[in-house]
Amino acid sequence: MALFQLSRRDALILALFALVVVTMPVWTAPFGANYPGLMQKFAIYAIFAIGFNILFGLTGYLSFGHAAFLGVGSYTAVWSFKLLTMDALPALLLAVLVSGLFALVIGFLSLRRSGIYFSILTLAFAQMSYNLAYSVLTPITNGETSLQLTMQDPRVIDLAFSERGVGLPTASLFGVTLSGLSGFYFCAVVLLIAFFFAQKVFASPFGMMLRGIKSNQMRMSYTGFNTRPYALTAFVISGMYAGLAGALLAVTDPLAGAERMQWTASGEVVLMTILGGVGTLIGPVMGAWLIKYFENIFSSFNEGILSRFFDFVPEPLHDTVVAISSKFVGEGWQLTLGLLFVFVVVFLPGGIMEGVRRIGALFRRRGSPPKADAMRVQPAE
Amino acid sequence: MTTSERNVVLHVDDVSKNFGGLHALADIDLEVEQGKTHAIIGPNGAGKSTLLNVIIGRLAPTSGAVVFDGQVLTGKKPHQINQLGVARVFQTPEIFPELTVLQNVMVPAFARRDGAFRVNVLRSVEGEAALRDEAEAILEDVGLAARRVSHAGALSRGDKRRMELAMCLIQHPRLLLLDEPTAGMSRHDTNTTIELLQKIKARGMTKVIIEHDMHVVFSLADKISVLSGGRIIAEGLPDEVRGNVKVQEAYLGGAHRLEAVH
């Protein structure tokens, strides 16, 4: 069936990616990042970044308001938990649906402009959502206290089949509790599905039209394409990805707060995508993992850890080295991340993936004559 | 075909275009027959590109209308006009620099097959063998087959023009508008392009062409309109225009230059 077909190259990438994701608890161990809470975030923010990249990477429209859809997804999922059932699937489906509708409205209005004006419009809508969540919409969002589960939730589907238990319930999938490692594996499977769909979009005629819009929108219209619905579809798809990520955040921790919609969260996904490589499939995933790693692990390094790390440095220098490097870890993690970001943008405009490509090209040039390389380029890549 | 059976496919009806106080086009009437090549010539600033922009829907005329095959083009969006079968080569090549040459030619093929908007995510571009073969054949025609995996942005200006021509041809347009299709080309490439355009003409494609190069104009045109100061000052068969004193004064600057090219 056409729906499940991938080119051999994409199928191989998907298989390798699946291997990497499934074995995450193993390879994150040396970095001290192998606890479920962080690995769940790795999977969730990878989905967020992959979806964002479908809009930014393919069409070139830079949205500064995608956290709004993340927040809408979280709220929808928590409401699904409160009103219907603790099962994760209805929550995900509803979240994707509602954030998609939300993206349709915001996208329809924002896409009347392009370039910086589009970015500002999306930022304005996201900040509006953020502020409304704290004010007018408190009946839905529960304002500053965040939307959370209570003992009085109706949960009509669950309670039709079983008695109300003791304490607050946790999210589940067909009766299996999703917490810790099982929660991570649930997010991992959703990530793989999301990645697969992104591959389909990238390889499809639709994806090529989106690239055409990024490359020369005027040529696209004189070539017979109505470009706005194309861009709007990409916007809605990426909004749905964000909603899916937001719902997964609620699955792993049934709580939704407005701070998820703040502009810093929107900026973060932009950084992830640029850091990893705009317009590539793997890049945004790498960017998401790197930033989440910095935020959660690098930020917890203290002088004690540094002192042990720099044990090999002779005594008179040791304290100086530790004192200087301590400014870059712990609370200073954003300094390191910022420097890394500047380095990437200046020297590797294509992000980490461009670095990977350059290293790969270096090896290939050494291994085989360059002529064979030129022949290997796929015409319809 | 006798004159009484004249089959006018493009009708520019009393079109004027003002930019503020400037009359860029004044009362233009133009009839282009099916399968013919109609050249528009004239000095710089005569309004040739403005006229083309009005036809293609890039500019709205101040008054008048453009009718193509019974459909009023005026007021339609560029993609709607293209979907009716009108394609255009621009004065400065409008291409997709980040895509490969082959992809550049395949994109318009999708517009022709799938229409103005279709979310096609189930199929893959790689699986579109028929369209790819067609694109490769057209690249062969314009002499760019060897460059098909290159990024279009890396092509020379002349090659970009030829690729843009291929992008239009793959759509099998019923009307092709060419804005100086050979500008920036070497003499050799110009001749190849002329041959190519003559080949298309044999297939019955209607063309409107703006050109400065008289060699190109007299090689291709069935009919010539001379534009000067926003007005059509002469119109007729190539030989008639060549002999028209008014034209020579306004534009050609004397008969000797025409003799020089023939």
pLDDT digits (tens, 9 = 90+) for A218-256: 999 999 999 999 999 999 999 999 999 999 999 999 888
Chain A residues in contact with B114 (beta carbon < 8 A)? 205
Minimum-distance CB partner of B120 among A7, A206, A377: A206
Chain centroid to Cα A351, Å, comes to 16
Residues A20-29, mean pLDDT to the nearest whole number: 92
Q: What is the pLDDT of residue B56?
A: 87
Q: What is the pLDDT of residue B253?
A: 56
CA B121/CA A206 separation, integer angstroms:
6
CB A177 within 8 A of CB A170: yes
pLDDT beyond 60 at A375 = no
Q: What is the pLDDT of residue B5?
A: 56
Q: Using a CB–CB cutoff of 8 Å, tell me whether B188 touches chain A.
A: no
Beta bridge partners of B68: B10, B71
Q: Using a CB–CB cutoff of 8 Å, tell me whether B205 touches chain A.
A: no
Nearest chain A Cα distance for residue B241, angstroms: 32
**A201 → chain B, closest CA residue:** B121
Residues A264-274, mean pLDDT to the nearest whole number: 93
Task: Check CB contact under 8 Å for A2 and B122.
Answer: yes
Chain B residues in contact with A378 (beta carbon < 8 A)? 126, 149
CATH label, B86-172, candidates 3.80.30.20, 3.90.180.10, 3.40.50.300, 2.40.160.20 = 3.40.50.300
Task: Check CB contact under 8 Å for A215 and B96.
Answer: yes
Residues A365-379, mean pLDDT to the nearest whole number: 49
pLDDT beyond 80 at A47 = yes
Q: Using a CB–CB cutoff of 8 Å, tell me whether A233 touches chain B.
A: yes
Query: What are the residue ranges spanned by the domains of chain B?
Result: 86-172
Q: What is the pLDDT of residue A372?
A: 40
Confidence class of residue A109 from pLDDT cuts 50, 70 and 90? very high
**A219 → chain B, closest CA residue:** B94
Q: Using a CB–CB cutoff of 8 Å, tell me whether A227 touches chain B.
A: yes
CA A166 vs CA A79, A150, A151, A170, A254: distances in Å: 20, 12, 9, 11, 17
Q: Using a CB–CB cutoff of 8 Å, tell me whether A349 touches chain B.
A: no
Tell me the pairing of strands A255-256 and A176-177.
unpaired
Per-residue pLDDT of chain B (262 residues; tens, 9 = 90+): 444 457 899 999 999 999 988 889 999 999 999 999 999 998 888 889 899 999 988 899 999 999 999 999 998 999 999 999 999 999 889 999 999 999 999 999 999 999 999 998 888 998 899 999 999 999 998 889 999 999 999 998 888 988 999 999 999 999 999 998 888 788 888 888 888 888 888 788 899 999 888 888 988 999 999 998 889 988 999 888 887 777 776 665 544 444 444 4
Nearest chain A Cα distance for residue B235, angstroms: 29
Task: Check CB contact under 8 Å for A226 and B77.
Answer: yes
Helix (H) or strand (E) holding B8: strand B8-19
Residue in A7, A210, A215, A223 to test binding to B, most B beta-carbons within 10 Å: A223
Share of chain A above pLDDT 70, in %: 96
CA B45/CA B30 separation, integer angstroms:
19
